[in-house]
Structure formats: structure tokens, C-alpha cells
Amino acid sequence: MEAKKKWRWGVNRWWVLLFIVLNVIFALIFKPVSPHIQVAPEKLGQEPLFSLPVIGDFYLTNTMVAFFITMIILLAMAFAVKRILSKSTLEPRGIAGALEMLVEALYNMTESSAGKWAGTIFPWFGSIVLVVLIANWMGLIPGVDSIGILEHSTEGHPIITLVPEKVFAIVAGEAAKGEGYNVTPFVRPVSTDLNFTLALALISVIMTQVIGFRAQGIRYLTKFFNVTNIFKKPFFGFMDFLVGFLELISELAKILSFTFRLFGNIFAGMVLLFVMTSLIPYFVPSMLMMFEFFIGLIQAVVFGLLTMVFMSMALHGHGEHES
């Protein structure tokens, strides 16, 4: 076996120094400007893609572009893993090894909670973790949220021309009346779109109910409408009935909770990055991006973990606790 090149400390520090110097130079030339922030995702074209008769128009938004990019990244990873695994299965190298570590950790967590239903629950857990992870981390790639189309706006900023008729840059300052521009980014992280998080939350909660019905049959409904004890023990039976009703409300609260937890974390991170970059462009955005990296990972794992825990809890009924 050939000798591996000895890894030396300090090779990458010159790259870091170069990037810091470039950061300071560019922040002095083009002072960063806080873009226009809105909760709803911005439309990219003026014509809708298609229209449904009752629901309305569907436009291409910048979060949809990010979602397509997320899907392409996931598919590329899947094909890469397939190619790596078809060569040798003993010790997969590269991305297949990393994904195998992730899958093994998640599967062990599922198996400790769910037992023999781990095979059914794990695909939901793993898929949600992978999709939300890549969707959250997309906000850290340079170019996302910053490169886009210029649009006239009343509270805009003046622009300078980098490449005539094609590339412009927004500079800080007050624009002349009616001449201000704002950027509509091409790509915006998809977790900042309430549609995406609401859809994932609905999928999660509805599949929890489906798995509950598959595991317990029709007796799953006694979790919500608990009429088993109403005539045996008069007072406590009625309390059980009210608790069951509370469980129903709790399911709806779970949908809202899933939606706003993921949306709030990633949207707050995006707003924080915008505002802090426009205030102090030198070292603080790097620290915030490291924090965002961590938060994106935690939120993805928490979304999946909560889905898995709720599905595991739906497998067992009320009165089956072993003492």
C-alpha cells in the first residue's frame, strides 16, 4: 500500500486568510444592503404556470426553485450511493459512508422506540430528516438569497452597473424618487415557505394516524373518543372521555407546532443574516452562518424525531402499560 501523504497543520489557514481579506475588500467596495423581507415567497414570473378552476393561479416562486434544487441534490446523492455500493459493500467510501453512518444512527433510534414497527416508521423519519436537512442548509450557500432579478420599488436603493445591460449591483443609499430597485432572489430556502412546512406537518400527522389505524385497527379511535370506561366508573370514565377530546385538539396543535417550529427557526435565521450583514459585514455573518448550520441540523433531526416518536406512541393504546 502506498504511503499516505502526511497531513500538516496550517495548510488551510492561508485560504481562510484569503477569504477574510476578500470579505473586507468587498464589504468596503459594495456596502451590504438589507433586502426587502417578506413572509410570502416572491414570484419569479408574471404569468402563472397553470390555473386551477377553484383554487386559483400557481406561480413559479423562488422557494419552488430551491425545492427543485433540493430534490436534484437528493437524487444525485442517491445515484452516487448506488454507484459506490455496486462496486464494493465492505467499506463504502465517500458520501456512501457518511450516509450509512446517518442511516444507522437514525435506524437505531427508531428501533429503540418502535420495536418491530421500525421498518414501517423509519422511511418517514429518514426521508423527513434528509429533505429538511438539505432544505435548511441551502440558505448558507453563497448566491442563494442574494442573486436575483431587480424590481422597481418605492423604498428601493440605487444601483450601479457591473456588466452593461446584464449585471447590476445594489449599493447603499437613498434612491431618487421612483428610481429605487430591490432584488428578488432566484433561490430562497424552501423551509422559509409556510406551504412547505405545512405540507410536511400534514403528511407527518396524517401518516401518524394511518399507522395508528394499521397497528391497532378500529380501536385506535378509543384514543380520541374514550367511551370504554364511561359506564363502568362513572366519574373517572367521564374524565377519560374529556382527556380523549383533549388528545384530538392536541393533534391539531401538533400540525401548527410542526409548521411554525421549522418555519420560525429558518425564517428567523434568514432575517438575522440579512440584518446583521447589513449592519456589520466583517466577522459576525460568519459566526451567524455557523449558528445557522447548527440550527438547520437540529431542526431537521427534531422534525423527524418528533414524527417518529408520535408514530411510536400511536402504536400502543392507553391501558397497555406494563408495571
- What CA–CA distance (Å, rounded) separates 76 from 89? 19
Which are the contacts of 15, defined by CB distance < 8 A and separation ≥ 6?
none
Single out the segment in contact with another protein by CB under 8 A; choices: 76-84, 179-187, 233-241, 296-304. Answer: 296-304
Please, which residue, 197 or 277, has the CB nearer to another protein?
A: 197
Question: Element (H or E) spanning 182, and its range?
Answer: strand 181-185
Interface residue with another protein among 22, 25, 242, 268 (CB under 8 A) is 268
CB 186 within 8 A of CB 68: no
Q: Does 159 engage in binding with another protein (CB under 8 A)?
A: no
Q: What is the pairing mode between strands 50-52 and 167-170? A: unpaired
Site for another protein in 22-51 (CB under 8 A): 37-40
Q: Does 109 engage in binding with another protein (CB under 8 A)?
A: yes
With both helix axes pointing from N to C terminus, report the angle between 284-315 and 118-137 in degrees, rounded to the nearest 10: 160
C-alpha dihedral sign at 38, 43, 46, 50: negative
In the complex, least distance from residue 63 CB atom to another protein, rounded to whole angstroms: 16
Interface residue with another protein among 23, 153, 302, 318 (CB under 8 A) is 302
Q: Does 154 engage in binding with another protein (CB under 8 A)?
A: no
Interface residue with another protein among 107, 224, 255, 261 (CB under 8 A) is 261
Which are the contacts of 48, defined by CB distance < 8 A and separation ≥ 6?
57, 58, 59
- What CA–CA distance (Å, rounded) separates 194 from 3? 53
Q: Does 115 engage in binding with another protein (CB under 8 A)?
A: no
Which are the contacts of 127, defined by CB distance < 8 A and separation ≥ 6?
none
Interface residue with another protein among 72, 78, 298, 313 (CB under 8 A) is 298
Please, which residue, 67 or 263, has the CB nearer to another protein?
A: 263
Site size toward another protein, by CB under 8 A = 21
Interface residue with another protein among 146, 222, 257, 278 (CB under 8 A) is 257
- Judged by the rule CB under 8 A, the positions of this chain that interact with another protein are 37-40, 109, 257, 260-261, 263-265, 267-268, 271, 298-299, 301-302, 305-306, 309
